Amino acid sequence: MNINVIEENMKLVTTGIDHLNLEVFNLVETIQFYKTLFGFEIRKNQSDQNSAIIGNDFIKLCLYEVEGFTKYEKKGYHHFGFYIENFDEILAKCEEMDLHIYYGGVLKWENSESIYIQDPNGYEIELSKNYGGGI
């Protein structure tokens, strides 16, 4: 299919990703990771489902502790990315948390910079200096 010839009919309007739904092996550890790194708060505790929705006013993660889940293995998507407003502080924060930065450190793109880390469940996260990579 040639994507340049798709008809321009009625479109649904989207202004962002509403949430990501992630399986985790340890709900408490995962919540603590996102709280420490990003300041995410529990928005809704769903203890009857061994689940929580965490985030801030712009990003929500729905976390579900799943018995038998050990670590995410890339199958279907590679990573998700967050725009980091205070990107200049990112290396110090990752060092403070003893997080491994993948791909040799800060990667410089045409209009932005990024680093890549993993959460405790193996999900790769891109942290970007410019929203949408500056494109």
74-120 residue pLDDT tens: 787 889 999 999 999 999 999 999 999 999 999 999 999 999 999 99
Please give the model's pTM, rounded to 2 decimal places.
0.85
pLDDT of residue 3: 62
All structural domains of the chain, each given as residue ranges with its CATH number in brackets, are 16-68 (3.10.180.10), 78-135 (3.10.180.10)
pLDDT of residue 87: 94
Task: Please answer whether residues 111 and 132 qualify as being in contact, where contact means their C-beta atoms are separated by less than 8 angstroms.
Answer: no
pLDDT of residue 11: 80
Contacts 24+ apart (CB under 8 A), 81-90: 81/114, 81/125, 81/126, 81/127, 81/128, 82/38, 82/125, 82/126, 82/127, 82/128, 83/128, 83/130, 83/131, 83/132, 84/127, 84/128, 84/129, 87/113, 87/127, 87/128, 87/129, 90/115, 90/127
Task: Please answer whether residues 128 and 87 qualify as being in contact, where contact means their C-beta atoms are separated by less than 8 angstroms.
Answer: yes
Average pLDDT score over the chain: 91
